[in-house]
Chain A
Amino acid sequence: VARVGIRRVGTFTFPPARAKAASVAGLMRVVAVACVLGAAAGAWAAEWETPRDWPVSLRALLDVRVGQGTRAPAFTDRGPGKTRYGGDRDGTGFERETRVTLSQLLLELGGRLPWRLVPRVELGLETASDFENRPLLVEADVRREWGTWERGFGVGAGLMPPPFSLEHTGPAWTPRYTLTPSAGGSWVWEELRTTGLEAEGWRVLPGRLRLDVLGGLGWGTDELGALLSERGWILSDYLSGVNVTLPLPVPGKETAVFSERDGVPALYLWTTLADVDDRGALYVGYLDTAGDPDVRGLWATRFGTVGAVVHPLAPLDVVVQWVEGETRTRVAAWDARFRTVAPLVSAHHGPHRVSARWDWFEVSDMDGPPRSDDHGNAVTLAYLLAIGLRHRVGVEWIHTDSRHPGLAHADRSDDAWQVSYRFRY
């Protein structure tokens, strides 16, 4: 947590020597005149120049938050809180805490390699939690596409989250409609990372529909199920890196974002059927870690997702996504089924966007204690204001109502708010 303060600096005194000051002033005048003349001479030429393109690009996103989370500490502090930021522990339980924090610092490296290869690397830094404080490798892949928008195919390789979230379509893959993604979006995008290969093809069909089918295989998902089974659903924009471990509620226990125990890659499929005229699009996805649950420390997880994005009017976005699956593991009795759905309505006009979302989520224990059961719902209201190209201010309020009998002191009903300022370069 970054505490805001004012740092006092010393006072400087210039030497009183007048002659020296006069000579400096004269020199500055000469330099100023020369600059003006030079600028005037170059003005005509500069108008006709186009900026040089570089083979490498760098963009950054900085997000600073002021907010008050739920009374329960967040999962990043091993608490049962459902939101990204939570309260603090005191002698008798939990207390609210208002925070000023550097929520995200993301760096995006892009560019062009030979043979029309497109590389992308995204690094993040999140200081909101104490368990990890190092650069997070969010994405690092290379893609190559052939064909046109109407018909083509592509391949990719590297570290890339399966493109399952319908909300993470903002700059640097941040949520577009709210500050905090849905429970499903938090899990499939913020916490799921695969490293492998994928291929896709697309074409425009008769009836002005565009079909895109993407299939991939990726390593590193063997502990994916631990989060839902032991911790439960959360609504959080904590963007994990492949090189970190995430804390679990049990003290001292954690789970690696990249974990490959049996060498067998996960398989995933993502299909998009979109109306060319943008009335809407349907999405279907499936992922199976294809793991052997008898391998120690491995979670065999599989889930499907179905979603839709509809635009009944140009300034209106209606998004709904369903996620359902199960995870099994040999260690302890953590097998669980999980499901969530989140309809969202968002209206935008110029730089303004207002969004409302309702989340319903559930984890059902399949094999007795320890209990994985976690169910509840959440309401999210957000207002986002874009200021020019670079700035955005956002306000969000979340109300959660959930039960997780396996975790002590889990709040049943609570709310949280946050104000965000985002700078995008």
Chain B
Amino acid sequence: MRSTLAILALLLAAVAARAGEVRGRVVGAEGEGLADAVVFASDLPLRAHPPAAVMDQVHKQFVPHLLVVPVGTEVRFPNHDQIHHHVYSFSRAKSFELPLYKGEAATPVTFDTPGAVKIGCNIHDWMSAVILVVPSAYATRTDADGGFVLDLPPGEHRVVAWHEHAETPLDETARRVAIGTAPAEATFRVVVRPPIERPPILGARGIP
């Protein structure tokens, strides 16, 4: 009987804590959908121990190009290439370097300050990626059309939209979103500059 009550109590708690949804789009200056934008709540608490994350290196590219993690996350940087990489960042949110290594030899890095951390390889100039360190556990990425669905707990929250190539300051994208019984909707407008991609050299002329 006691166990049945305990299970019932847990189920009730789960229903009560069930997140609401915010649906919407992140659009650019001309109203076009922006893929790979990140929408996150900036005023919600963190989970106690965010799970570890991985930024891999495969075929002279970082994989994924964009990694979104909550503050306090430990990120591993395995190098699955057959060559050495020298990973570094000079970003304000996290400055670090992992000198020449292969495999799993690099020490994991803990990202303890919110912000965008641009990482690169000191040998292969075209390699770049971004680790977005968000201040809460509530974050999501847009799809190819700029659409997103963000789960949030009930209440009113401050939600912002970020993009790697944004010209619009993050604070200007902020919205107050109320999560109640009905699904909420929000559209974020972020002006972006055109990306400048540096193609990798994969043949014999590429730096080993």
- A: residues with CB less than 8 A from B are 44-55, 57, 59, 110-112, 116, 118, 143, 145, 147-149, 152-154, 156, 160, 163, 169, 171, 200, 202, 212, 214, 270, 272, 274-278, 314, 348, 350-351, 386, 388-389, 424
| Shortest beta-carbon distance from B34 to chain A in Å | 15
Size category, B interface: 35 or more
The one of A45, A54, A389 in contact with B169, judged by C-beta atoms closer than 8 angstroms, is A45
CB atoms of B97 and A388 under 8 A apart: yes
Q: Given A169-B207, A389-B97, are A276 and B118 also a contact pair (CB < 8 Å)?
A: no
B125 within 8 A of A: yes
CB atoms of A148 and B82 under 8 A apart: no
* Closest partner residue, chain A, to B163 (CB atom): A50
CB atoms of A48 and B202 under 8 A apart: no
The one of B86, B123, B196 in contact with A112, judged by C-beta atoms closer than 8 angstroms, is B196
Majority secondary structure, B binding face: loop
CB atoms of B88 and A50 under 8 A apart: no
B25 within 8 A of A: no
Contact stretch, chosen from B5-13, B45-53, B108-116, B144-152 = B108-116
In the bound assembly, the distance between CA atoms of A386 and B98 in angstroms comes to 12
B103 within 8 A of A: yes
Q: Give the chain B neighbours of A272 by CB distance below 8 A.
A: 204
CB atoms of A148 and B122 under 8 A apart: no
CB atoms of B113 and A148 under 8 A apart: no
CB atoms of A59 and B125 under 8 A apart: yes
CB atoms of B115 and A389 under 8 A apart: no
CB atoms of B205 and A156 under 8 A apart: yes
Map CB proximity to A onto B183-208 as digits: 1 under 8 Å, 0 otherwise.
00000000001011111111111011
In the bound assembly, the distance between CA atoms of A277 and B93 in angstroms comes to 34
The one of A149, A214, A278, A350 in contact with B204, judged by C-beta atoms closer than 8 angstroms, is A214
CB atoms of A116 and B199 under 8 A apart: yes
CB atoms of B201 and A143 under 8 A apart: yes
| Shortest beta-carbon distance from A313 to chain B in Å | 11
CB atoms of B116 and A47 under 8 A apart: yes
CB atoms of B164 and A50 under 8 A apart: yes
| Shortest beta-carbon distance from A147 to chain B in Å | 8
The 8 closest A-B CB pairs, nearest first, are A47-B115, A278-B82, A149-B59, A53-B196, A48-B170, A169-B208, A154-B203, A45-B169
Q: Give the chain A neighbours of B82 by CB distance below 8 A.
A: 274-278
B99 within 8 A of A: yes
CB neighbors of A among B154-194 (8 A): 162, 164-166, 169-171, 193
Q: Give the chain B neighbours of A424 by CB distance below 8 A.
A: 122
Q: Given A50-B164, A53-B195, are A149 and B60 also a contact pair (CB < 8 Å)?
A: yes
Map CB proximity to A onto B16-42 as digits: 1 under 8 Å, 0 otherwise.
000000000000000000000000000
- B: residues with CB less than 8 A from A are 59-60, 82-83, 86, 88, 91-93, 97, 99-100, 102-103, 105, 113-116, 118, 122-123, 125, 128, 130, 162, 164-166, 169-171, 193, 195-205, 207-208
In the bound assembly, the distance between CA atoms of A59 and B204 in angstroms comes to 21
Q: Give the chain A neighbours of B97 by CB distance below 8 A.
A: 388-389
Known: A48-B162, A50-B165, A274-B82. 14 other contacts (CB 8 A): A46-B92, A47-B116, A48-B170, A111-B198, A145-B202, A152-B202, A169-B208, A171-B123, A200-B203, A214-B203, A277-B82, A386-B99, A386-B100, A389-B97
CB atoms of A389 and B125 under 8 A apart: no
CB atoms of B201 and A52 under 8 A apart: no
CB atoms of B92 and A47 under 8 A apart: yes
| Shortest beta-carbon distance from B12 to chain A in Å | 39
In the bound assembly, the distance between CA atoms of A138 and B196 in angstroms comes to 26
| Shortest beta-carbon distance from A413 to chain B in Å | 35
Q: Give the chain B neighbours of A59 by CB distance below 8 A.
A: 125
* Closest partner residue, chain A, to B199 (CB atom): A116
| 19 A-B contacts (beta carbon < 8 Å) | A44-B170, A45-B169, A46-B92, A47-B114, A47-B115, A50-B118, A50-B164, A51-B118, A54-B196, A112-B198, A118-B201, A149-B59, A153-B203, A160-B205, A171-B123, A200-B204, A214-B203, A278-B83, A389-B122
Q: Give the chain A neighbours of B125 by CB distance below 8 A.
A: 57, 59, 110
CB atoms of B103 and A55 under 8 A apart: no
* Closest partner residue, chain B, to A116 (CB atom): B199
CB atoms of B171 and A45 under 8 A apart: yes
Q: Give the chain B neighbours of A50 by CB distance below 8 A.
A: 91, 116, 118, 130, 164-165
In the bound assembly, the distance between CA atoms of A350 and B204 in angstroms comes to 26
| Shortest beta-carbon distance from A425 to chain B in Å | 11
Q: Which of A54, A148, A278, A348 has the most CB of B within 10 A?
A: A278
Q: Give the chain A neighbours of B195 by CB distance below 8 A.
A: 53
In the bound assembly, the distance between CA atoms of A378 and B203 in angstroms comes to 33
Q: Give the chain B neighbours of A163 by CB distance below 8 A.
A: 204-205
| Shortest beta-carbon distance from A41 to chain B in Å | 10
CB atoms of A270 and B204 under 8 A apart: yes
CB atoms of A143 and B59 under 8 A apart: no
CB atoms of A389 and B88 under 8 A apart: yes
In the bound assembly, the distance between CA atoms of A143 and B204 in angstroms comes to 12
